[in-house]
Chain A
Amino acid sequence: MNDPFEELEDRLAGLAEHAPQRVASGGRASRRRASPSPTR
């Protein structure tokens, strides 16, 4: 690779295409109970 920085954004975008497109239903989050009205 001649200049890693020059291509980095394109390569990151290309690698990101291997990510799942959707979250599967029914993981731990769907079973989690909400905490009472937290604020930020």
Chain B
Amino acid sequence: MTFFEAHRNSVSEPVPTATEMDVDDGNALTADPRRPRSAAGFEALFALEQAPMLRLAFLLLGSGPAAEEAVQEAFATVYERWNSIDRPGAFLRTCVVNECRSRHRRAAVALRKRHLVAEADVVDDRHAELADALAQLPRQRRTAVVLRHYLQMNTAEIAEAMGTSEGTVKSSLHRGLQQLKETLR
């Protein structure tokens, strides 16, 4: 089942029906923002970005189920705003970061961050070591490090995705990498 089929009956806002696959919409990062986008374009974005966004959310949250929930919410937001957003790919990434931030805040109330790692079911020792080190980073540092060193985003792109300044991103990166270095020593 596609995302569109799963959500067809749950969203009140009408979504245009696709008569053909729109190639530009398929490459959502370069789609012309002035044209109404097709439902097929959304499906193309979903097919293209579902797994990468799950991996990003997993690195930010340390939990598979939480990553699924965050990515589903992020796609739902993109779906609702499909005809009004300029750059769907970048908007989706920002939504994923925001959803992960919300979950961090909620998790911090009830759990120690370290407990999130236990949910991740990471069996490889080296992966578990990194997961544990990431879990010890404050959220902003963790997000900056993952966006920079996993997605290879530059500081301007990270600042946009996190809704903060480039200076804050640089500081978060510096401190985050220092903390990782000490933890992984």
Residues of A within 8 A of B124 (CB): 14, 18
Majority secondary structure, B binding face: helix
Residues of A within 8 A of B7 (CB): 29-30
Contacting residues of chain A (1-40) with chain B, CB-CB under 8 angstroms: 1, 4-5, 8-9, 11-40
CB distance from B88 to the nearest CB of A (A): 11
Cross-chain contact B184 with A1 (CB below 8 angstroms): yes
Cross-chain contact A25 with B1 (CB below 8 angstroms): yes
Please give me the residue from chain B that is nearest to A39 by CB atom.
B84
- In the bound assembly, the distance between CA atoms of A9 and B11 in angstroms comes to 38
Question: Which residues of chain A have a CB within 8 Å of any CB of chain B?
Answer: 1, 4-5, 8-9, 11-40
Question: Which residues of chain B have a CB within 8 Å of any CB of chain A?
Answer: 1, 3, 6-7, 10-13, 50-51, 54-59, 64-65, 67-69, 71-73, 75-76, 79-81, 84-86, 91, 120-122, 124, 126-127, 130-131, 134, 145-146, 149-150, 152, 177, 180-181, 184-185
